[in-house]
Structure 1
Amino acid sequence: MVAYVINEIVVTEPERFLTYSSQVPAILAQYGGAYVVRGGAPEQVDGPEPPERLVVLRFESREAARAWRTSPEYLAILPIREATSTSRVYIVDGYEG
């Protein structure tokens, strides 16, 4: 089943954050992931105000998403993201109707 990684991000140090975000695409591709949404400008329709940055990644399975998230390549750059932003990240299964 397809799985999505949802990232709600507030960037606190934009210039340093670019060091992280510029390295993600190659690592993502290596693990079969693809961007569905990258950045965007969330428009509040209902509920609390959305974060300034929203990223949605698509993987062929939850296992593939976890493999990317725990890969040595991603873990090497994760401290940059953690130091330059705050975020909420989760994995959800896709809909198979």
Structure 2
Amino acid sequence: MTVYAVALITIEDRVTYKRYQRNFGAVFEKFQGKVLAMRDKPRVVEGEWVGDKVVIMAFPSEAAFEEWRLSPEYLEIVGDRFSSTTGPVLLVDGHPWS
């Protein structure tokens, strides 16, 4: 079943985050994930949210997501994201009707 990783982040250090972004694509393309959507300063249409960015990624399975997340290549760069952003990354299942 497809799973979606949804990152809701606030960027605290733009220089370090840009370094993470520069390295992200090369690592991400080695795995089965796809970036479906992202937006800086998304428009909030209901409720409140004060973050800076939303990123939605799809993986064919939770196992594929974990393979990427725990890969040596990703672990080498993720420290830049941890040190430059705050906010959760949520993992949700795809809906069977989609």
TM-score norm. by structure 2 comes to 0.90
What RMSD, in angstroms, separates the aligned Cα atoms of the two structures? Answer: 1.2
Segments of structure 2 that go 5 or more residues without pairing to the other structure are: none
Segments of structure 1 that go 5 or more residues without pairing to the other structure are: none
| Alpha-carbon distance between aligned partners in 2 of 1:46 and 1:31, rounded to the nearest angstrom | 34
SS at match of 2:87: strand
Equivalent pairs, count: 97
User: Which residue of the partner structure matches residue 23 of structure 1?
Assistant: 23
| 2:52 equivalent to 1:52 | yes
User: Which residue of the partner structure matches residue 14 of structure 1?
Assistant: 14
User: Which residue of the partner structure matches residue 94 of structure 1?
Assistant: 94
| Alpha-carbon distance between aligned partners in 2 of 1:11 and 1:45, rounded to the nearest angstrom | 21
SS at match of 1:80: helix
User: Which residue of the partner structure matches residue 75 of structure 2?
Assistant: 75
Cα distance change, pair 54–76 in 1 and its aligned pair in 2 (3 A): same
SS at match of 1:43: coil
TM-score norm. by structure 1 comes to 0.91
